[in-house]
Chains A and B, each alone.
Chain A
Amino acid sequence: MKEKYIQILVIAMTLVYGVFVIFLYAAEPRSLEEISSKVVETVQNAATKGQVITGTYEIDQAKFNEGLMAFRQNNFIVARDSFAKADPERRDARTQFYISYSFYRQGWGRVTNDDALFKQALESLERVNFIDKNFRSDDQDLQLRTPAELKNELEEGLRVTADDFNPLKVFRERK
């Protein structure tokens, strides 16, 4: 073998072996069996990042539909899980809006709201505004279709006012 081929081989070998070592220390598999599953996970993440860089990123429509179905059945935990899988890079305004809405609906209470869930809803809503400032949902089932409306509702829910002690409040409806 010629000298230059051996030198090319060392560069290739160092890169491949080096990347493998870095992968092991980054992924930290706990057993030999776990290495393969970590490899698949890392490759999928890398592929998604590649799509983002090249501008070809799209959400997983099947997962999104699963999430939407769970959302309409008031199964918000499953819905959020599906939405998160559909949009792993959190770059789709519609999906992020549904995640925020699911926090709102889950946290809404006739007597009291769950403040922790409302705060998470606000955090998700910030992402929607960051992705698309003019976002407007086309879902007819939602009464709050813009991030501004949903944000107002969430902030109202978090604020303690005299109106909170109005007994007629129990007759209000979830939006």
Chain B
Amino acid sequence: MNAMDDVEEKTGRDLDVDVIDVEEVTLVRPTATRGELVASDGRPLPTKLSDHERNSLYLRYLVLPFVFLTVTLLGGLRIDSLDGAFIFNRPALVCLIFAAILLVLFARSGVMKLDGWFAESFPPLKNVANGFVILTLFAAATQIFNSLLPELGLPFWIVAFCFFWTLWNNLFADFDVRKLFRSLGGLFGLAFVAKYLVLANLTAPAGRTWFEALTENPGQEAITRLLDLPRYSGSTGYIQFFAVALFLLGLYLVPPSTRDN
């Protein structure tokens, strides 16, 4: 029994159909035109970026490097208290070491996933661009430590030791992003207060004669000389506050991965 007999039996009518052309419905997929990217099954991939993707690209590749390079510029800038001249303070070697440890901490805690920033599956240009972003982050971290560490003498070694102790402990601690940011915020905040509030207030003003220094405020003068405190203008603290805030903002904006969803 063929298909027509079956239908006649069910309906009770003679069907006067000579030929029935039965065709299977096939799913027609859009085909790629020349120059379009195609997926493994031949479908063209979307080449235009959505607004969300574009914004995240601008943030990752334009805003972040700009923020971190600005921090790099400002982190070592001091203002002379005598004539208001710029002083560009180059970072000590220990700042580079601290910055390297900080990047390791970022990788460990998941602030930045290494395989989300560098991968063989990425185009070379993307890997290079990501490398540049990380480089700016490293430079900014170096300059933040340069900003927060006292320049000379005993205060430098005390604060540097505290930084080292905290970072070293963090390296072996069980971490997540929130805990790391809390720890860094506390560390940077305390160091900022120590340098730009406590030590800055203990520093005697510049441009006084020996006699004036000894008669007006001998304690301040003695502490300044004993601790090798540099005499910077008050505006240095404002600039460094801005630099630290900008760095923390930049860290907040760093995506854990640059892989496309």
**A interface residue numbers (CB < 8 A to B):** 1-4, 6-11, 13-14, 17-18, 20-21, 24-25, 28-31
Contact = CB atoms under 8 A, between A and B. Distances in A.
B218 to A, nearest CB: 31
B58 interface: yes
A13 B70 CA distance: 12
Given A9-B62, A10-B62, 14 more contacts: A3-B49, A3-B57, A4-B125, A6-B57, A6-B58, A10-B129, A11-B128, A13-B66, A14-B65, A25-B76, A28-B87, A30-B85, A30-B87, A31-B85
A6 B132 contact: no
Contacts, number: 66
Nearest to A16: B69
Given A13-B65, A14-B132, A14-B136, A7 B125 contact: yes
Q: Max chain B CB contacts within 10 Å: which of A7, A8, A9, A29?
A: A7
A10 B88 contact: no
B128 A1 contact: no
B132 A10 contact: yes
A18 B138 CA distance: 12
Interface string B69-89: 100110010001000011110
B74 to A, nearest CB: 10
A140 to B, nearest CB: 51
23 contacts: A1-B54, A3-B49, A3-B126, A6-B57, A7-B129, A8-B129, A9-B61, A11-B129, A13-B66, A14-B65, A14-B132, A17-B65, A18-B139, A21-B72, A21-B73, A21-B139, A24-B88, A25-B76, A28-B86, A28-B87, A28-B88, A30-B80, A31-B85
Given A14-B132, A18-B139, A30-B85, A24 B57 contact: no
B72 A14 contact: no
A7 B62 contact: no
Interface string B113-148: 000000000010110110011011001000000000
Interface in B229-260: none
Given A10-B61, A11-B128, A4 B123 contact: yes
Nearest to A13: B65
